[in-house]
Structure 1
Amino acid sequence: MAPSKEPGNLATLRNALSSTKALIRSFQAALQSPTPPPSVIQDPPNPLALLSDASQILKAQTTKLSLLILNKPFTHSAITFILKSLSNNCLPGLISALEICPATKYTRLLHQHIRSTLLKVMRELLSLIASIPSDEHGIETSTGRNTLASTGVLWAECDKMVELASKGLVYLATQRTEDHHGLLKDAIQELEEWDPDEDTDSDTDSLSSNKQKPASTPTADNISSAIEELHISSIANLRKSTLLTLRTVRVIYPALKKRRISTFPNITSASTLESLPTSADIDALDSLVDQAKGFTDAADEIAGALYEGDVEQVERRLRALRESAEGCAIGVKTGWKGEEDEFTAWAEKWTARLEEVGRE
């Protein structure tokens, strides 16, 4: 009896594979769209709760799917059942979680993070499904390795989404700010280890080896040497000024995390629509995280200009960085309820120090 049903089961599996792949690709296109369609769900549930539930189901289903792919006998009907379950419930649930998590209510940070995570999930799920045999033969060893790799990535991403839903927006904002803080510290360390004299000496030696100094023009050589020495001195001074500015800016990260990000009204899988932060606070947190990233971007640009010896650009970018950092501190000078606190007094002293650095 079983063998006679096998051709039908195989055809059903192939149809399920085709439709599931098409669905995932349509979701990928929607996730990559710059203007996603607005949610039409009435009285939407908590998006993080939906994200967590769908992620746990996805992990369970991909675990079953992986085992069915790798183990014999190869059961077409069981795999077809899982594919239909993914298409009808799990994947639409993940996409709905993003749709009911608009940036205006839940921050651009959270919305974009979920979007990028779902794009990764869709890509890995396609890879996993691609390893499903579409004939009566079992899976090859090489494809088996691909199956395990994709399953491992999917597990990790599902666990991260569940953790995000539990710990919430504050957890994500803290993580992102710590990442930017680390990048700024790396930029400072790289500048500390860079010696502009060594680069200039190397360039000068290279030039000297390719030309002879004319004996009849000592005055021109002296002028050229003096100009070169002046440029070296200017770059060295700018390096010191850059390090002083970056070290001062670096200090604000722990203060922002402790006094502003950790005190933000958190959004978790237990939050209700009534408990969401105000739109002004949502915008302020997005701006804060963007500025934390902006400091690291500015540090990279300043370092690049220093390495190129572009004095004017370094000075201009340093001024812009100090102004941006000062604006950041002033923007969150008071707490989320408008109250003055420890950060208020600290920010005044810090901005004063930043102004002093600009004059040194």
Structure 2
Amino acid sequence: MRSLIDLTKTTQTLLTHYQSSLSPSQATQASLEISSPQPNPLETIKATTTLLKSHTTTLSLLLLTPPLTPSAVISKIGDVSSGVLSAMVAAASSTAQQGQKDELGESMRTELRAQVRRVLSGWGEVLALVLRFAERREEEGKKKDDGPTEAAKQDVLAATGVVWEACDALLRTCADGIVGLVVKKAEEYRSVLLDAVEELKEWGEDVESEEDEDEGLGSDGEDEDDIFGAANKLGKGNTELKVLLDSSVKKLKMVGILYQALIKRRLKTFPKMSTPTNNTNGETSDEPTDPMRVLDKLMVILKDIPETVDDLASAFYDLDDNQAKTTLDKTCKKAKSAAGLVRQSWKGQDDEFTTWSEKWSGMLEGA
């Protein structure tokens, strides 16, 4: 029992190291420490995640079924920590080395690291229960083991469920692959963008009347929130800001349409096995373009646009038309940059999206 306690504590320390190696600040350094070439990371993670679910199920049964057998639990923890988790973390930490084709890309790599961290967190809860059970049995000595209490059983089932849920999410990500992930992310970004547009539109419709302006300093019956709320309303006479707001809403809706087109024509058609092609942004270049690198750049822009729109909304709420103009221009430039980045197909050829994106860019300018 003492050996089980010591092993569990050592494994907890190892788990902390694994989680740290997958944090955004440490992931790059950890990947540099991997000396041997890694097999397909998604396949490795899929295999190890499936094994972890199985091992966790067995371990939970060992904890629930008296008497608690230290040797069996020790063996199972060893299988997980030294075999399953080490391979899983190595695969999630891996990056494409110089001269090696990038099979994942930054979007998938970041997602895998985050999800593996959740799996590790869930496994940590299981280890905490193992330690609690072992310490209780050590304190009881030779007293007959009647098994865990009902509350303890529920704790085991709950911890096992957390691991299973994290594993299932990780397996879905592996099954969906890069295309499934980037499409999902882009749809989420578009949803955030359109929510912001709708809020701006509603704010613009809540025009402050002249009576509101006269009462803006507040009467005895007004509270503090009413006063500050009135200060951030669009004034009825502020026609210049209203025109800018209407133009912004139109342009941002067109950006939302761009997301739809990019999802359909570019993200869903991303090649499973990426190979360098001709330059996809319309510029002449002697060097081929790696679709994975282009995809990474595109996803950064698609994520950044809704964040810039938040800044645009803040400028409007502050009634700062100059800042609103500047931020709107920045948003439109980013959107046109996204369209231009994948102007041509992943094979470096003009297609329907090429023609459509040129028309869309012209309409955005005129909106």
Short-chain TM bin: 0.7 to 0.9
1:199–1:89 Cα change, 3 Å? farther
TM-superposed CA distance for 1:15, in Å, is: 1.8
Corresponding residue for 1:269? Answer: none
TM score, norm. by length of structure 2: 0.81
Whether 1:327 and 2:337 are equivalent positions in the alignment is yes
**What CA distance in whole angstroms lies between the structure 2 residues aligned with 1:23 and 1:228?**
60
1:165–1:200 Cα change, 3 Å? farther
Where do 1:85-124 residues align within 5 Å? 85-102=79-96, 105=102, 106-124=104-122
1:125 to 114, 123, 126: 123
Higher relative contact order (CA 8 A, sep 6+): 1
1:253 to 255, 259, 273: 259
Is contact 2:122-2:162 (8 Å) kept?
A: yes
1:175 to 168, 177, 184: 184
Instruction: Determine which structure has the larger helix proportion and give its number.
Output: 1
TM score, norm. by length of structure 1: 0.82
Whether 1:336 and 2:346 are equivalent positions in the alignment is yes
* Amino acid of the structure 2 residue aligned with 1:107: G
Deviation larger for 56-65 or 340-349: 56-65
1:66 to 40, 57, 60: 60
1:14 to 1, 5, 24: 5
**Offset from partner CA, 1:159-213 (integer Å, 9 cap, x none):** 2222332331111111111111111122122223323424997575240527xxx
SS, match of residue 251 in structure 1: helix
**What CA distance in whole angstroms lies between the structure 1 residues aligned with 2:338 and 2:71?**
58
**What CA distance in whole angstroms lies between the structure 1 residues aligned with 2:346 and 2:256?**
23
Whether 1:23 and 2:20 are equivalent positions in the alignment is no
Whether 1:36 and 2:29 are equivalent positions in the alignment is yes
Where do 1:278-357 residues align within 5 Å? 278=276, 280-357=290-367
SS, match of residue 36 in structure 1: helix
Is contact 1:31-1:115 (8 Å) kept?
A: yes
* Amino acid of the structure 1 residue aligned with 2:90: S
**What CA distance in whole angstroms lies between the structure 1 residues aligned with 2:164 and 2:213?**
52
TM-superposed CA distance for 1:83, in Å, is: 0.7
**What CA distance in whole angstroms lies between the structure 1 residues aligned with 2:345 and 2:315?**
37
Corresponding residue for 2:242? Answer: 236
**Offset from partner CA, 1:215-240 (integer Å, 9 cap, x none):** xxxxxxxxxxxx96543x33332321
1:286–1:204 Cα change, 3 Å? farther
**What CA distance in whole angstroms lies between the structure 1 residues aligned with 2:39 and 2:300?**
28
TM-superposed CA distance for 1:316, in Å, is: 0.7
TM-superposed CA distance for 1:125, in Å, is: 1.3
Corresponding residue for 2:280? Answer: none
**What CA distance in whole angstroms lies between the structure 2 residues aligned with 1:159 and 1:201?**
58
TM-superposed CA distance for 1:346, in Å, is: 0.4
1:201–1:330 Cα change, 3 Å? farther
Number of residue equivalences: 324
1:158 to 164, 167, 192: 167
**Offset from partner CA, 1:57-91 (integer Å, 9 cap, x none):** 11111122223333433333322221111112011
SS, match of residue 28 in structure 2: coil
Whether 1:262 and 2:273 are equivalent positions in the alignment is no
Is contact 1:61-1:82 (8 Å) kept?
A: yes
* Amino acid of the structure 2 residue aligned with 1:173: V
Unaligned runs of 5+ in 2: 138-144, 221-233, 277-288
TM-superposed CA distance for 1:44, in Å, is: 2.8
**Offset from partner CA, 1:15-51 (integer Å, 9 cap, x none):** 2211211110111121121532325444431111101
Unaligned runs of 5+ in 1: 1-9, 211-226, 267-274
**Offset from partner CA, 1:307-357 (integer Å, 9 cap, x none):** 222221111100111111111111111011110111001001100011112
1:208–1:21 Cα change, 3 Å? closer
* Amino acid of the structure 2 residue aligned with 1:242: S
Is contact 1:13-1:79 (8 Å) kept?
A: yes
**What CA distance in whole angstroms lies between the structure 1 residues aligned with 2:236 and 2:209?**
13
RMSD (Å), alpha carbons? 2.6
1:243–1:150 Cα change, 3 Å? farther
Corresponding residue for 2:48? Answer: 54
Is contact 1:174-1:257 (8 Å) kept?
A: yes
